[in-house]
Structure 1
């Protein structure tokens, strides 16, 4: 909405809305206006509510935030803000997890992984800072506003690696990505073993496009990581043959079974499509000066 449209929707003057924007976090709202805002948010569709959550400042999230368990599955996350690109990252402790279709025990060192896939807004900041080419589908070189909190797509492996380098991170290895998605006990999917398409954006869901990176709250992994199944395929650091790299997680274009974290895919490092994006990982050293365990 424009400022005037939003003010009319709330039943206040456009000067009041302008003052709120100008005051930022220091804005003081009358209770009746706060109630009107809360009502609008409550009536918004699920995608709009997801965008609202997705664009909240990471500074508003406690250092040790906890995601409530879903049903009988243990699901929690410890988060911090990365000093490079400012994205929220979830902590994955060192240890053994059950990997692959045969659930082989694999040890992985401690690391942090982006809580959400790299969004269009994240990628736009990278392009502005480095003059890197923007995705070809952005209109006049700019991402549409309604896609700011959707995962960036039409990025090659090289694009993803360039972003990770700029941010002071790296692309995840296959082992890192799979552990962050499945946890340690060999879950089939991030949320458990149930084939529940409603917990992610896959072909069976019927959305047929990308969605907000924070939309599927019930589909988070044991470490509180979103969209590890569906929405977009994610580039990994693990190569398969020269010039080809793994992809995991499937996308809105793929059936649910392709999204099982143990199932691998690969593609040329120059491939880009409307269902392919990425997220990054960081070592404990790469997240300093933020909190470290003693």
Structure 2
């Protein structure tokens, strides 16, 4: 995740060295949470929708990393593996739309893996070029998952590899 965000230059932000509120979906004012509405199963969805300030991925043309990955800063905080394992197995990176840290390296490790909230999400990744080579599937077969982009794969160290 970090390499995909900062690139080979180890940029602090996916788009460069200086923070820019215009580059990505960041620094929006924090909305006051109606705790009662959020805690009530009958009003929870409406309150979460009111608080949600996400935008469709790719909405900010300048919010792209050196590897061409969009929205690594802001928009939603993304679950990642916490390689140190302390205090939890997972953490979140990237920050969300609010006035929070949105650099490539910092990680929040304040939540158990079962935690969910309106500004937290995850990223699904695939190589679009490799996906072109996947044969059409029918109901009896499942295509293999596309490989990770070679530029990133050579720099990754996956557990057990």
TM-score, normalised to structure 1, is 0.34
Q: Compute the RMSD of aligned alpha carbons.
A: 3.2
Structure 1 residues 237 and 280: alpha-carbon distance in aligned structure 2, compared to 1, 3 A threshold: farther
- 1:226 maps to which of 55, 67, 70: 70
Q: How many residues align?
A: 114
Q: What SS class does the counterpart of residue 197 from structure 1 fall into? A: coil
2:81 alignment partner in structure 1: 237
Structure 1 residues 273 and 206: alpha-carbon distance in aligned structure 2, compared to 1, 3 A threshold: closer
Cα distance in 2, alignment partners of residues 248 and 215 from structure 1: 19
8 Å Cα contact 2:7/2:67 also seen in 1 = yes
Q: Which runs of 5+ in 1 are unaligned?
A: 1-176
Cα distance in 2, alignment partners of residues 277 and 214 from structure 1: 16
- Which structure has the highest strand share of the two? 1
Q: What SS class does the counterpart of residue 234 from structure 1 fall into? A: strand
1:12 alignment partner in structure 2: none
- 2:17 maps to which of 193, 213, 231: 193
Cα shift at 1:205: 7.3
Cα shift at 1:246: 1.5
1:277 alignment partner in structure 2: 121
- Which structure has the highest helix share of the two? 1
Cα shift at 1:203: 2.2
Structure 1 residues 205 and 242: alpha-carbon distance in aligned structure 2, compared to 1, 3 A threshold: closer
Kindly report which structure 2 residues correspond to 1:1-294, keeping only aligned pairs within 5 A, or say none. 177-204=1-28, 209-239=53-83, 240-241=85-86, 243-255=88-100, 258-266=101-109, 267-281=111-125, 286-287=145-146
Q: Deviation per CA, 1:53-84, whole angstroms, max 9, x where unpaired? A: xxxxxxxxxxxxxxxxxxxxxxxxxxxxxxxx
8 Å Cα contact 1:198/1:205 also seen in 2 = no
Q: What SS class does the counterpart of residue 217 from structure 1 fall into? A: coil
Q: What SS class does the counterpart of residue 62 from structure 2 fall into? A: helix
Structure 1 residues 286 and 242: alpha-carbon distance in aligned structure 2, compared to 1, 3 A threshold: farther
Q: Which runs of 5+ in 2 are unaligned?
A: 32-51, 131-143, 151-161
Select the structure of larger CA radius of gyration: 1
Cα distance in 1, alignment partners of residues 115 and 87 from structure 2: 14
